[in-house]
Amino acid sequence: MGKIRNIEIFDTTLRDGEQSPGATLTIDEKLKIAHQLAKLNIDTMEAGFPFASNDDFKAVKLIAENVEGPYICGLSRAVKGDIQRAWDAVKHSNKPCIHTFVATSDLHLEYKLKKTRDEVLTMAKNAVKFAKSFTDRVEFSAEDASRSDKEYLAKVIEAVIDEGASVVNIPDTVGYGQAEEYGKLIEYLKENVENIDDAIISVHCHNDLGLAVANSLEAVRKGAGQVEGTINGIGERAGNASLEEVIMNLKTRPEYYECDTNINVKEIYATSKMVAGCTGIQVQRNKAVVGENAFAHEAGIHQHGMLSNPLCYEIMNPESIGKQTEMVFGKHSGKHAIESGLKKLNYTFNEKQLNKITQKIKELADKQKTVLEEDIIAIADYELNKATKKPKIVLEELSVLSGNKLTPTAVVRINEDGKEKISSAYGIGVLDAATNAIRKIFGPDVKFKEYELKAITGGSNALADVSLVLQDKDKKEYKARAIDQDIVMASVKAVINGMNKIKNSKSD
């Protein structure tokens, strides 16, 4: 492996990322994300487009005043008013950067700018020269570079470097480029722009064809020194290159790219979660690196391989990005994986108990598809506690009746020491009716002191976890718990468990 080259990371989550439909951020949210991006240790943070609105200007200025570490960058078109406004916002940073751009493709020149090539060349030179009068860190972007005439593009890039651009960006603005041809474009510029070594080549790829990360990485292989993108890949249309994917490719395959970054990768997952929370754009479960399924394993054969050696199915260490491997149990999970998962949670059990827990997990998975760690804990607690004493009271049947024009009614049939007992009762709701029916069987000496219901993993099909406290005639309290997908059933089971504790204590 040759000398490792450092690749700078330019984050535009707060500018291009915020342009995602529905992703508008408040000033406070922008500052919060900016501080997290600084913890991530990105090299440049494009904080916004100061000329676009007063709020954008205020946000960029606030970030420049309060966030240290990265270059704080403001975007501007290649006109003096934009550049001045950008400088007025970023000048409060000890590392200010102005990013100015103009389109270079003939398509944009004819239909959007309505200018000639010479006119755009002059605009680009004048913009960089004006920006350079404020700060040494000036980036120039040739919008729609991947669809521009490469000879004209090279001419523009050489001219802006002569004017003092320290970074030249070659955007694939509409995600049109293919990896090989985009890489060849970077190669062409390196070979045909005489002063190219006086500036950093940057790439800004969009994901319209799903190639933003691939194109960015190919550009790096061909000599680009900076990659631009966003956290979680958000942005205009199909989004930008996903920075966490670019970074972890470089980190995971150093022998291939011979490159690395300054990124504090342990902050990747926290940054992803924050951006998703603030923008309201949630990450798809199977997204690379930061998706909830990225380090989750359900299939029994995969889980067995993971337990033998994580490298069997994980090419990255989830802890390296601040995330934990998660064993997601489902109907495909094997007993071996469930046993290992329980042992990691410090449970001890025998073969019979393990079989019972495995059966319960699979039954639950058939109903709610995925069983998470919290479900496992609840099931294990319930089954292992239940096994400590043989129950003297067993619930045989529960029937409830309810509706908007019906009085909630419950019928309970239990078996106590071999004797069957049946009771029915009304209540305010079916839960109240069911507990009233049980109390009829056991009499007024038992009182309900506390009742707590919680959904373990969220969603309409969440596992219900009921905890309660019963008090006997001597005012001694007994805690009991039960779980079930049905709230009423979980509650009745908890009451029966509590009654068993009372009865067992009397017979000890």
| pLDDT tens per residue across span 132-173 | 999 999 999 999 999 999 999 999 999 999 999 999 999 999
Burial readout 371-384 (b: 16 or more C-beta within 10 A, e: otherwise): bbbbbbbbbbebbb
pLDDT band at 73 (very low <50, low <70, confident <90, very high): very high
Greater pLDDT, 363 or 206: 206
Contact between residue 49 and residue 265 where contact means Cβ atoms under 8 Å apart: no
Check pLDDT > 90 for residue 497. Answer: no
Cβ atoms within 10 Å, residue 399? 13
Domains in the chain (CATH in brackets) are 7-279 (3.20.20.70), 296-386 (no CATH), 393-507 (3.30.160.270)
Contact 36, 289 (CB under 8 A): no
Q: Which amino acid is at 5?
A: R
Which candidate, 262, 318, 253, places its Cα nearest to that of 289? 318
Listed in order, strand segments (DSSP E) in 373-476 are 393-403, 406-416, 419-426, 447-455, 464-471
Cα separation, 464 vs 410, whole angstroms: 19
Residue 491 has pLDDT above 60, yes or no: yes
Selection from 495, 503, 480 nearest residue 436 by Cα: 495
C-alpha separations of 74 from 98, 236, 407 in Å: 5, 18, 65
Cβ 109 vs Cβ 115: under 8 Å: yes
Report the distance separating Cα 449 and Cα 477, nearest Å: 8
The overall average pLDDT reported for the chain is 87
Contact status, residue 442 vs residue 472, Cβ threshold 8 Å: no
Distance between CA 102 and CA 203 in Å, rounded? 15
Burial class (CB in 10 A: 0-12, 13-18, 19+), 368: middle
Q: Give me the pLDDT at residue 263, please.
A: 98
Examine the pLDDT at 86 and tell me if it is beyond 80. Answer: yes
Question: CA separation (Å) from 192 to 153, 199, 325?
Answer: 10, 14, 47
Question: By the 8 A CB rule, do 361 and 338 touch?
Answer: yes
471 versus 1: the higher-pLDDT residue is: 471
Residue 311, pLDDT > 60, answer no
